[in-house]
A and B are shown apart, each in its own frame.
Chain A
Amino acid sequence: MSLFSRRADRHRDEETGRAADARPDPLGPEGEVGDGPETRPGDEPTGAPRAGVPAPRTEGGAGGDGRDGGQGTDRGLDGEPVTGNAPPPPDNVVVELRDVYKSFGPKEILKGVNLAVERGTSAVVLGGSGTGKSVLTKHVVGLLTPTAGEVWVLGDRVDLLDQDQLDRKRTRLGYLFQGGALFDSMTVYENMRFFLDRLTTLDRGEKDDLIDESLEDVNLPETLHQYPAELSGGQKKRVGLARTLILRPDIILYDEPTTGLDPVSVRVVSELIVQLRDTRGISSIAITHDLLAAEIITDQAHFLSEGRIVANGTLQEVRRSDNPVVEEFFKGTEAYGAA
């Protein structure tokens, strides 16, 4: 069974309200991965273990040997969602930002961003350079905390999670960095193996199979023993994506996934993102100013300008916005594309 079909099964399970990972998974020795807190009846599926990917090692405490079974692990106190007494978003919303403000010293980057991403959809955040698109996505994975506002991810407020809770949440998120962020002292194989070694208890054969499958998913099986320096920009991004996929995230954030690529590679990477959404049900947020990529990827587009979302809807709806900055952006980008 391929990774895509396995993931598609799981997504269907989630949609029908079943705990998808309750069934045995051929990849993950679930029973081996620890003695963490048990799931309480009524816990939402967001806290369920993931196939083959146990929760990360924790810094002592309730995790015993630092590992838990992943059951209810991204929950706050006593397995309860961390909400800060605010009403959580509906179940079909996997990421929501509410009135998010972010300042660096006197410089205000985000000035009240509101954005929601539904399960199994691809959201695209458009906007010019330096408008805070990367800052926005870094809030979702907890690399930055908001000066004010709420950041909801899979039912919890990540801005209120402690380090261990945040780490557990992060095992369900993937982040594709602009340059791929591959470790340049390691080969592609070692890059991928590194994540599996440290976050799973799979045996070597299982890890090698996963690595091969992930590289095949991005059509780059031949790069296995190459160093990042030997790869082109597009290949680095695809290998970065394969490394992200290997941990089976529920949500992937793409930071400029197609910047600097030729039109053919833009199409390849964009179609890969769509394929992941359609076959595995991976929700995604992509930040880009590449209209070709946006057209392929977008379910819901958000236009960020001067720290606020000034237009949202389908890409066509955003394109028709009468906001002068949006008009200018589309005119400029389309003129550039036509040239």
Chain B
Amino acid sequence: MESPPRLPAPPAGRLDGPPDESLTQRLRAGRRARQNEKILQDKEIEDKVAQQEAAARERQESRPFEGFLSEAGRLFEFVGRFFSQFWRRPFEWRELTAQMDEVGAKSLTLTGVVGFSIGIVLAMQSRGTLARFGAESFLPSMLALSVIKEIGPVLTSLVLAGRLGAGMGAELGSMKVTEQIDALEVAALKPFRYLVVTRVLACVIMFPVMTVLTDLLALLGGFLESVFSGGMDYRVFIATAFDTMRFVDVVVDTMKTSVFGFIVGIVSCYLGYSVRGGTREVGRAAMQAVVVSSLLILIADVVIVRASLLIFGDISGSS
């Protein structure tokens, strides 16, 4: 290893004189060279990593299954980017509010009608079966259990996945092909934070809210059907509906829709953001956003329900 260059001895009387300008300049130049060297080294490492990733991608794309894995890898990379960005300031409050309005208020009619009609149909269909076993009085609690624990969360999420997934995929996709995202990037406006983080967070926050509203409307539908068509006393309905329900069930089964919201938001944004080409690819991204998010919601539901049973047990108290 080379020894550091020796600095020339200062001339006599120089130490208490003014500082040596040439020495300062040399030290600055040396420091600048070291800093630039460091940047080059970092760049070299980044290049090597990029080359390895490109080579790996090429290898994987040569086989269909590995192509799928590579796509999944890119999705996880996108997820990682979301987690590295979403907590950083400045927060896009205005856009987040607009997106929450889109997920919430503007989807309310659809989810409300779905919930209300499902409640009525569920009450109508179940009454006959329960009556055969003389268990008609269990209708309210069965209705509440099925709506709050499963039908409400999953149905709301699937309906929202259809509405929002297609919308987000198409919107971001067309922004990509018309270079609007590049325009934001070039103007240093951080499009990922503005477009992706806000949409995903809006889904995470609003899915549980929409689920609660859908649950309430489904129960209202079931209640009205039972009371006015089935002749059940409304006091009996109210008294028995939540008999078997545990608070933890309500919380876990409602909050799992935050995970579903995350899935819908991140998958739709990823597919929209990754569009290359033209309008055909935009359409494909919108369609894939709905299909992939719906499938992932159902898979995640199985996993979450299994985990919740292991942790909290079922309504009989056994885990």
Q: Give A residues with C-beta under 8 Å from B.
A: 56-57, 59-60, 66, 76-78, 80, 82-85, 105-106, 138, 141, 143, 159-160, 166-168, 170-171, 173-175, 177-179, 181-184, 195, 198-199, 247
Contacts and interface: CB of A to CB of B under 8 A. Distances in A.
Which of the four size classes fits the interface of chain B? 20 to 34
The dominant DSSP class at the A interface is loop
Nearest to B88: A59
A141 B186 CA distance: 6
A60 B193 CA distance: 14
Given A66-B90, A171-B188, A181 B32 contact: no
25 contacts: A57-B89, A59-B88, A59-B89, A66-B89, A76-B35, A77-B35, A78-B35, A82-B39, A85-B36, A138-B182, A160-B39, A166-B188, A171-B187, A174-B186, A175-B186, A179-B178, A181-B178, A181-B179, A181-B182, A183-B180, A184-B180, A195-B189, A199-B187, A199-B188, A247-B187
Nearest to A78: B35
A78 B34 CA distance: 13
A179 B189 contact: no
Interface in B176-210: 178-180, 182-183, 185-190
B186 A143 contact: yes
A84 B39 contact: yes
A333 B194 CA distance: 42
Given A175-B186, A177-B182, A183-B183, 9 more contacts: A66-B89, A85-B40, A141-B186, A159-B43, A174-B186, A178-B179, A181-B178, A181-B180, A181-B182
Contacts of B54: 105
Contacts of A105: 54, 57-58
The dominant DSSP class at the B interface is helix
A316 B107 CA distance: 61
A80 B178 contact: no
Contacts of A66: 89-90
Interface string B37-54: 101100100000000001
A198 B36 contact: no
B298 interface: no
A82 B36 CA distance: 7
B56 interface: no
Contacts of B57: 105
Interface of B: 32-33, 35-37, 39-40, 43, 54, 57-58, 88-90, 175, 178-180, 182-183, 185-190
Contacts, number: 79
Contacts of B89: 57, 59-60, 66
Given A56-B188, A85-B37, A170-B188, A80 B32 contact: yes
Contacts of B188: 56, 166-168, 170-171, 199
Contacts of B33: 85
B203 to A, nearest CB: 19
A178 B40 CA distance: 34
A60 B89 CA distance: 7
A57 B182 CA distance: 18
B34 to A, nearest CB: 10
A199 B189 contact: yes
Given A177-B179, A177-B183, A60 B189 contact: no
B310 to A, nearest CB: 39
B178 A184 contact: yes
B311 to A, nearest CB: 37
A132 B156 CA distance: 47
Contacts of B58: 105-106
A195 B183 CA distance: 11
A77 B31 CA distance: 11
A193 to B, nearest CB: 13
Chain B CB count within 10 A is highest, among A59, A106, A171, for: A59
B189 A56 contact: yes
A76 B90 CA distance: 22
